[in-house]
C-alpha cells in the first residue's frame, strides 16, 4: 500500500514538472523517456504520442490498460488498504477512498484533454499531500507504521533513481556542458529540491553539485541516501516482531545497499558513472523489496 502511495506522489511530480518543461520548450517536447519508464507501449505506439503532451498525460494517468498508470496505482493502494483496515485509521481510509474517487472524476479527464492539465495535477498532488499528513498525525507509531514507512522509502528511492535516469537520458548521459543544466534543474523540480539547492549552493548551478544533492545529501528528504537511512531506521524497529533469520537477512541487504551508495567511487561529473550507480542502487532496492515480500509477507 505504502509503495503504491509513494509511487503516485512521485509520478504526479514527474508529470507536472515535465508538462511545465514541455510548455517552456520552443521545439517539440519529447516524452519518450517518461513513456519508457511509466508505460508498456511498443516503439511504434510510443512514436504516435511521444510529442503529444495531453495524450501522454492521459495514458500515464488514466489508462487502465497501463499497469504503471496513476489510476491503477491508486486503485491498488485502496485495495490493499481495504484488506488491512484493522491496522490503519479510519481517517486514513476515508482520505484514500476520496483520492480514489477524485482520480475517477470525469472532470479530471476533461481537464487533461481540453483544459489546463496543471489544474488536474495540482488537485491530485494536494490530495496526495493531505493523505500523507493524515497518516502522519493519526497513525500510532507501532508495527504497521514501521511497515508503512519501510515500503514508502523503498519506493521513494526507486522513484528517485528512475527520475534521475530519465533526465540523464535526455542529455545522453553528458554532464560536461551547460546544455545539461535545464534538464537537471527540472530534476530538482521533480524532487522538490530546487529551493533547497539554491539555499545551499549560493545559486551556482553545476551538474556535479546537483547530482551530489540527489544522491548523497542526508538532510534532503528526496535524496537516495536519505531514503536508505530511513529504510534502515524503520526496519530496525521491526526486530522485536521478526523471525531472527529473516531480520538478519534483510538487515544485511539494507546495510549492503546503504554502503554501496554511501561509499561509492562515483564520478559526479560523469553521466555514465552516475548511470551505473543508479542501476546498481535500483538493483539493490529491488532485492530488498523482493526479500521483504518473501520473508515478511510470504510472497515468492
Mean pLDDT of each 10-residue bin along the chain, 300 residues long: 83 94 81 93 95 96 96 94 89 95 96 96 95 92 91 95 92 81 90 92 88 96 97 95 94 97 93 95 96 83
Q: Provide the pLDDT for residue 300.
A: 62
Q: Provide the pLDDT for residue 194.
A: 93
Cell triple for 75: 486503485
State the Cα–Cα distance between residues 284 and 251, nearest whole angstrom. 13
Q: Provide the pLDDT for residue 179.
A: 72
Q: Which residues are CB-neighbours of 66 under 8 A, at least 6 positions away?
A: 38, 39, 40, 59, 60, 72
From residue 37, give the alpha-carbon distance in Å to each of 40, 63, 238, 239: 8, 15, 32, 35
From residue 259, give the alpha-carbon distance in Å to each of 212, 255, 288, 299: 16, 6, 14, 27
Amino acid at each position: 500500500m505504502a509503495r503504491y502511495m509513494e509511487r503516485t506522489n512521485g509520478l504526479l511530480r514527474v508529470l507536472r514538472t515535465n508538462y511545465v518543461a514541455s510548455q517552456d520548450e520552443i521545439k517539440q517536447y519529447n516524452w519518450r523517456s517518461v513513456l519508457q519508464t511509466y508505460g508498456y507501449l511498443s516503439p511504434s505506439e510510443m512514436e504516435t504520442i511521444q510529442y503529444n503532451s495531453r495524450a501522454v498525460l492521459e495514458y500515464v494517468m488514466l489508462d487502465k490498460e497501463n499497469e504503471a498508470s496513476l489510476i491503477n496505482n491508486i486503485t491498488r493502494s485502496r485495495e490493499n488498504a481495504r484488506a488491512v483496515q484493522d491496522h490503519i485509521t479510519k481517517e486514513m481510509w476515508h482520505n484514500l477512498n476520496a483520492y480514489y474517487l477524485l482520480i475517477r472524476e470525469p472532470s479530471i479527464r476533461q481537464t487533461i484533454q481540453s483544459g489546463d492539465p496543471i489544474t488536474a495535477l495540482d488537485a491530485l498532488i494536494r490530495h496526495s499531500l493531505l493523505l500523507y499528513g493524515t497518516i502522519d498525525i493519526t497513525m500510532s507509531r507501532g508495527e504497521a507504521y514501521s511497515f508503512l514507512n519501510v515500503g514508502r522509502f523503498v519506493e521513494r528511492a526507486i522513484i528517485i533513481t528512475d527520475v534521475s535516469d530519465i533526465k540523464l537520458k535526455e542529455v545522453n548521459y553528458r554532464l560536461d556542458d551547460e546544455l545539461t543544466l535545464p534538464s537537471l534543474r527540472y530534476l530538482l523540480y521533480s524532487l522538490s529540491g530546487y529551493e533547497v539547492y539554491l539555499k545551499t549552493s549560493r545559486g551556482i548551478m553545476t551538474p556535479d553539485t546537483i547530482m551530489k544533492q540527489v544522491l548523497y545529501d542526508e538532510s534532503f528528504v528526496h535524496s537516495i541516501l536519505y531514503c536508505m537511512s530511513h529504510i534502515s531506521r524503520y526496519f530496525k524497529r521491526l526486530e522485536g516482531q521478526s523471525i531472527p533469520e529473516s531480520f538478519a537477512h534483510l538487515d544485511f541487504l539494507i546495510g549492503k545497499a546503504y554502503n554501496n551508495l554511501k561509499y561509492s567511487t562515483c564520478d559526479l561529473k560523469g553521466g555514465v558513472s552516475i548511470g551505473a550507480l543508479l542501476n546498481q542502487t535500483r538493483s539493490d532496492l529491488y532485492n530488498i523489496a523482493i526479500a521483504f515480500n518473501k520473508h515478511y509477507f510470504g510472497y515468492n
